[in-house]
């Protein structure tokens, strides 16, 4: 990790988004390194709930044993298996066997949707999650994830599209909360022209994030480019200063709560 880049963004973030939470980084490594290993939770637990510690500043490390959610295992690349009755679980259920979340209208739609979901290459690596300011020289983040409210998101969204002629610089694929910060942005990182991923619309994951918080996940190669043009973008205009006041008010209210 380029420490000068880390510090440059931190300074710009406080200048243009004062008081807003720094993003967390995601990286797959061959060792546990310096993070706190996440223990196996008792029973089912959403990985979005588990990473709250990283947002607070504690660097954490996952293995496949740290995750008890089937979706979490799949979207972090530790498993490619699907529960036998998943097509019913995601739709209207199966009497006496599984309750349905009703996120899809029919099992057949679930089947077709499943066919379109890309997969990680199989791996047994350690999943590191660190807050941006905790990154060190030996880190090589692959995805940078912001947990933010609408005004901050408006700035991130506009930055993600700033140097793009395409109106689709940001994508929002339907999926679990973990897929929107792990699978899809990681896959984008492997592309020559990666897109940013908007997410955390999964009702099942909403209990693990504060009110009004959604995510914007930048592939690292895209994020490096964005850092380079922040000081020439709309962030220096009077228009952004108006939004900035709302960000400051939102931060004050959040701190009181």
> What one-character-per-residue DSSP string does 35-74 give?
SEEPPPPSS---HHHHTHHHHTT--EEE-GGG---HHHHH
Model pLDDT for residues 3-42, shown as the tens digit of each residue = 999 999 999 999 999 999 999 999 999 999 889 999 998 8
Name the domain count of the chain.
2
User: Which of the listed residues 102, 118, 134 is the one where a domain comes to its end?
Assistant: 118
Instruction: Give this prediction's pTM.
Output: 0.94
pLDDT at 156 over 90: yes
The bridge status of strand 24-29 relative to strand 143-148 is antiparallel
Query: Are 221 and 164 in a shared domain?
Result: yes
β-bridge mates for residue 219, sequence order: 143
From CA 155, how far away is CA 131, in angstroms rounded?
Answer: 20
Q: Are 151 and 214 in contact (CB under 8 A)?
A: no
Query: Are 209 and 90 in a shared domain?
Result: no
Of 200, 205, 171, 202, the residue nearest 188 (C-alpha): 171
Between vectors from CA 134 to CA 131 and to CA 138, what angle results, nearest 5°? 115
DSSP, residue by residue, 81-128: ---TTHHHHTTT-BTTTB----SSS-HHHHHHHHHT---PPP---EEE
pLDDT at 166 over 90: yes
Query: Are 59 and 159 in a shared domain?
Result: yes
From CA 30, how far away is CA 242, in angstroms rounded?
Answer: 45
**Confidence at residue 254, expressed as pLDDT on a 0 to 100 scale:** 66
**Confidence at residue 255, expressed as pLDDT on a 0 to 100 scale:** 64
Exposure string for 8-41, b = 16+ CB within 10 A, e = fewer: ebeeebeebbeebbbbbbbbbeeeeeebeebeee
Query: Are 144 and 38 in a shared domain?
Result: yes
pLDDT at 89 over 90: yes
218-237 average pLDDT score: 98
- What are the φ/ψ torsions at residue 109 (nearest 5 degrees)? -65, -40
pLDDT at 228 over 60: yes
pLDDT band at 122 (very low <50, low <70, confident <90, very high): confident
Query: Are 21 and 131 in a shared domain?
Result: yes
Query: Are 154 and 175 in a shared domain?
Result: yes
Of 165, 182, 246, 167, the residue nearest 219 (C-alpha): 182
Query: Are 162 and 240 in a shared domain?
Result: yes
68-97 average pLDDT score: 92
**Confidence at residue 256, expressed as pLDDT on a 0 to 100 scale:** 60
Q: Is 157 helix (H, G, I), strand (E, B) or coil?
A: helix
On average, the pLDDT of the chain sits at: 94
Query: Are 112 and 124 in a shared domain?
Result: no
Query: Are 220 and 178 in a shared domain?
Result: yes
User: Which of the listed residues 118, 143, 176 is the one where a domain comes to its end?
Assistant: 118
Of 253, 190, 249, 195, the residue nearest 222 (C-alpha): 195
pLDDT band at 257 (very low <50, low <70, confident <90, very high): low
Query: Are 91 and 74 in a shared domain?
Result: no
Model pLDDT for residues 171-182, shown as the tens digit of each residue = 999 999 999 999
Query: Are 8 and 90 in a shared domain?
Result: no
β-bridge mates for residue 128, sequence order: 27, 61
Range of the domain at 178: 3-80+119-256
pLDDT at 236 over 90: yes
Query: Are 235 and 181 in a shared domain?
Result: yes
User: Which of the listed residues 118, 141, 175 is the one where a domain comes to its end?
Assistant: 118
**Confidence at residue 56, expressed as pLDDT on a 0 to 100 scale:** 94
Cβ-based neighbour number of residue 107 at 10 Å = 18
């Amino acid at each position: 990790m380029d420490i000068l880049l880390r510090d440059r963004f931190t300074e710009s973030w406080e200048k243009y988004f004062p008081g807003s939470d720094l993003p967390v980084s995601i990286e797959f490594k061959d060792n546990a390194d310096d993070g706190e290993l996440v223990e196996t939770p008792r029973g089912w637990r959403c990985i979005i709930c588990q990473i709250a510690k990283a947002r607070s500043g504690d660097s954490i490390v996952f293995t496949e044993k740290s995750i008890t959610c089937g979706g979490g295992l799949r979207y972090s690349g530790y498993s490619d298996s699907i529960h036998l009755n998943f097509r019913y679980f995601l739709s209207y259920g199966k009497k006496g066997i599984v309750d349905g979340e009703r996120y899809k209208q029919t099992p057949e739609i679930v089947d077709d949707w499943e066919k379109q979901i890309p997969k990680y290459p199989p791996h047994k690596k350690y999943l590191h999650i660190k807050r941006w300011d905790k990154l060190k020289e030996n880190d090589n983040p692959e995805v940078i994830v912001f947990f933010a409210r609408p005004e901050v998101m408006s700035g991130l969204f506009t930055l993600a599209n700033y140097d793009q002629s395409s109106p689709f610089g940001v994508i929002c694929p339907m999926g679990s909360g973990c897929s929107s910060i792990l699978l899809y942005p990681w896959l984008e990182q492997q592309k020559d022209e990666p897109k940013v991923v908007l997410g955390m619309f999964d009702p099942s994951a909403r209990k693990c994030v504060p009110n009004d918080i959604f995510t914007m996940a930048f592939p690292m190669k895209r994020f490096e480019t964005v850092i380079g043009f922040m000081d020439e973008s709309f962030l220096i205009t009077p228009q952004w200063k108006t939004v900035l006041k709302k960000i400051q008010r939102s931060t004050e209210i959040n701190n009181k709560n």
